[in-house]
Chains A and B, each alone.
Chain A
């Protein structure tokens, strides 16, 4: 169990304040990290521990003819070699995301098993084919080199659009690469497209990117022979939810597989949800050897086949629009590339339904996608969970439409914005935006842009002079929504019978709450326990400052720790910007329960009614008496009692649970995100038309995430999200050759933004509390990544408009070679 260690430095802040919530309290997590005392999973090496390395396929698509392990096993440091054959004897395949695939849509359902080691065939470069265990990672790599795999290579398919043609099939057992397809219509899109003055069309690509946390995957597994159970320390995200992928693969009950995530994880951004393969393999090896086994993924493994890539998409989008500037209908069609297996959990194609029309009022919408398999690393979640490409494609077509009808793109946007008097606003796709004034945020960002034209970065004289040098400046403001606080029920849509959804009742819907426990220690301090895991978002700080307010004590009187998968109830945890909202709601709830308990305890002690006592300032007072009991005294009294009243636990329900307005979305398994953080962006970009390089001079943004519980953390999340958005927009991509060979397997090829690439961020905030949440907070963890790529792309289009280029930023990343080609093609 890891706990926070309140830092001395916070004392001054505390003494000056009346309320800690809403203040930028420095984090309690920092001290241990800054002094090198934090224990990440890579730092855990139990006594007697062995080390695992993986033999990985160098082919994207190949039959495994033979695996000769004899030389490896003869190595003096070798402790174990396992292949798929060994796994199949004792364990199960990993759960998949679409479960059983129906051939041809109506045909017989077929299993699509994914074993933790490649079974008979390798389907992507980097797929683990064998595991070896030795005395150290160095020795394990020596041993892995001696495993001799005989491959018969096959033609590969690495392009999603091409994969739809099924010329090369990744899984011959199902005979098609298209493992899921859906076409949903809201309103009457056909009529809208028929009636509108014109239809604008665009094609856009979103490249394969991902979070690339600095800490790679890591796991230490220990099998206990006597108890026939496992202890697994790992840095998986959502460990109380996706632990089923581990215990089901091992073939054990949940209670026999304890999954524990350290208090400090070196970044995840969604990408560590699907790293269960490593947990399973290390656990299996540990069981075979009856010794602890550790695996630390290295960066080359991580980048090529580390189960951490996000999806890539090809979009064909149409917007029906009238000449007066009214958006009439939207038609979105896309292909989403899963990679080699439909990994669990998935659904990045569905979340965009929660922000289907972004900030615009469009009632008639068609949404259609194909999910395809290719010979690439399987996809997992990434910050934004599929919303970022959708917003990008939508903002691009809006820009294009403005150009075609010859209107100012900002005015075109303004004309179609959802207005504050329409809040809460129900989207065609049945999700609801809780609150916000979108026109006002566009007004504000326009003022900021105007200021830049008045002697600033966009001063007409400066812009003209720069253009003479071949440097084109521009900006395109927009308003963008961040859907927050996912429930979970809808994520099963792709494993459900969709035809049956119309008959589904509200009672069948299960939305997941968030859990929090608190107890008073004998010294009067308060200990709280989170059921979630954290990867740098400051959950311990957040809970300690909120709980301090609720219990009227100091944050330094509170310690916050974490529960493992066995002790914690199966809850949804840290994903989809849930934590500020869900943890703050749970904190208020647990504090209220604790106060009630303590008042009862004191009343019993004094033999009076609870009406005669009152909790305040960290103690219970006897009203009309001269007595009080401190938290320490209450803990001492409670220690003698039969029931522990200095302990409480609380489940904060998902905000949509009690609101009828969400019933239609919930029963239809449409994504429900009850908070809509919003904001406007205006990144000022400068494109060098000789080199195609883009520099973002300043990233202006105005953001609103409802009540800001800790403004410092809110800003930090936005800074980090925008930095990742800059990387996505301009630098990052897991490119593949046509034969499935990955082109980015080092950080020299997969370019992460450094301090030289990330612009100055000029950020303002407004605060429109959410009417749907306990504290008025909205989710904020995915902003920036969701909105920056779209805003940067449309600003690049604006910058290059004088050249008459047709949407130069039509692919993400907008890398220099792409822009250069666009510019030179036009010149010719």
Chain B
């Protein structure tokens, strides 16, 4: 971990950070103002991290940092130095088998345009890790920080319940 600021790229102040992303260590020189969401999208090429509002309302950029969900548009990459990040790209098995949450979203038609979907999947992951059998009210609370503009949420409830069942088995 480096804490020294340097005049790295074209005269811009940069810092070297190392972040573990989906189990892999990534080291990069970044400007202190680089948002974590942009670091993941552009430096790590993880396009499943989506940017919908950049002010923390829509939740499309939700990832897990240290096992807890964060909105990656609300923090800077330098703040994630040394952290472990998990994105939607880290969920499916290497053989391509979908994670039970992904599978449940597919089976219940809990996505349409899909722009919010990785955020919902990551929020659902945290919800089910903390509460493997949530009630409708608990699902509502757990997903209240994410906005979906296409599906109307009913199928998202179904997806969470189906995923909870699948993960229990």
Contacts and interface: CB of A to CB of B under 8 A. Distances in A.
Interface of A: 7-9, 24, 26-27, 29-31, 33-40, 42-43, 45, 76-77, 135, 138, 211-216, 264-267, 269, 298-300, 535-538, 712-713, 715-716, 719-724, 746-748, 752, 754-756, 758, 760-761, 784
B113 A214 contact: yes
A45 B57 contact: no
B140 A756 contact: yes
Contacts of B113: 213-215, 264-267, 535-536
B153 A758 contact: yes
A27 B147 CA distance: 21
B149 A213 contact: yes
Contact of A31 (B51, B106, B109): B106
Interface stretch (B13-21, B64-72, B85-93): B85-93
A723 B118 contact: no
Interface string B29-46: 001011000000110001
Contacts, number: 182
B109 A24 contact: yes
Interface string B118-151: 1001000000000000000001100111111111
A39 B47 contact: yes
Contacts of A135: 10
A30 B52 CA distance: 19
5 contacts: A42-B47, A536-B113, A538-B112, A716-B152, A758-B152
A236 to B, nearest CB: 15
Contact of A746 (B31, B47, B57): B57
A538 B110 CA distance: 12
Given A35-B92, A723-B153, 18 more contacts: A9-B103, A9-B107, A30-B105, A34-B88, A34-B102, A36-B118, A215-B50, A264-B113, A267-B112, A299-B58, A537-B112, A538-B112, A712-B109, A719-B155, A723-B152, A747-B57, A755-B144, A755-B146
A266 B152 contact: no
A754 B144 contact: yes
Contact of A748 (B47, B55, B155): B55
A214 B106 contact: no
Contact of A747 (B89, B121, B147, B152): B147
A9 B55 contact: no
Contacts of A747: 53, 55, 57-58, 147
Contact of B89 (A29, A35, A760): A35
Given A35-B89, A35-B102, A755 B55 contact: no
A819 to B, nearest CB: 23
A747 B60 CA distance: 13
A43 B96 CA distance: 22
Q: Which 7 pairs, one residue from A and one from B, show the smallest C-beta to C-beta distance?
A: A36-B48, A266-B115, A536-B113, A719-B152, A33-B114, A723-B152, A536-B112
Nearest to A135: B10
Contacts of A721: 152
A119 B154 CA distance: 47
B117 interface: yes
A281 B73 CA distance: 27
A38 B139 CA distance: 27
A296 to B, nearest CB: 8
A30 to B, nearest CB: 4
B31 A722 contact: no
B10 A719 contact: no
Nearest to B103: A9
Q: How large is the interface on B (under 10, 10 to 19, 20 to 34, 35 or more residues)?
A: 35 or more
A77 B46 contact: no
A451 B105 CA distance: 32
Contact of A267 (B10, B51, B115, B140): B115
A318 B138 CA distance: 47
Contacts of A538: 112
B150 A720 contact: yes
A207 B153 CA distance: 25
B98 interface: yes
A339 B63 CA distance: 39
A299 B53 contact: yes
A760 B96 CA distance: 34
A34 B140 contact: no
Contacts of B60: 214
Contact of B33 (A29, A34, A138, A211): A138
A755 B140 contact: yes
Contacts of A269: 149
B78 interface: no
Give the residue among B57, B105, B121 with the most A Cβ atoms within 10 A: B57
B11 interface: yes
Given A138-B33, A535-B113, A712-B109, A34 B98 contact: yes
B111 interface: yes
A752 B107 contact: no
Nearest to B119: A214
A26 B115 CA distance: 18
Contact of A27 (B34, B49, B109): B109
A745 to B, nearest CB: 10
Contacts of A34: 88, 92, 98, 102, 105-106, 111, 114, 117-118, 121
B47 to A, nearest CB: 4
Contacts of A300: 55
A720 B152 contact: yes
Give the residue among B105, B112, B155 with the most A Cβ atoms within 10 A: B112
A265 B48 CA distance: 14
A716 B140 CA distance: 19
Contacts of A42: 47, 50-51
Contact of B58 (A211, A214, A535, A719): A214
Nearest to B48: A36
Contacts of B106: 7, 9, 26-27, 30-31, 34
A233 to B, nearest CB: 14
B109 A716 contact: yes
Give the residue among A213, A216, A712, A720 with the most B Cβ atoms within 10 A: A720
A214 B118 CA distance: 13
Give the residue among A264, A300, A752 with the most B Cβ atoms within 10 A: A752
A214 B149 contact: yes
B114 A264 contact: yes
B151 A719 contact: yes
B153 A748 contact: no
Contacts of B114: 29-30, 33-34, 38, 264, 266, 536
B115 A214 contact: yes
A489 to B, nearest CB: 30
A24 B55 CA distance: 37
Contacts of B111: 30, 33-34, 536
B77 interface: no
Nearest to B147: A752
B89 A36 contact: yes
Interface in B149-169: 149-157
Contacts of A267: 112-113, 115, 149-150
Nearest to A751: B57
A715 B158 CA distance: 13
Nearest to A724: B149
Give the residue among B114, B139, B144, B155 with the most A Cβ atoms within 10 A: B114
A36 B87 contact: yes
B54 interface: yes
A297 to B, nearest CB: 11
A168 B48 CA distance: 48
A162 B33 CA distance: 45
Nearest to B114: A33
Nearest to A722: B152
Nearest to B118: A36
Contacts of B87: 36
Give the residue among A9, A267, A746 with the most B Cβ atoms within 10 A: A267
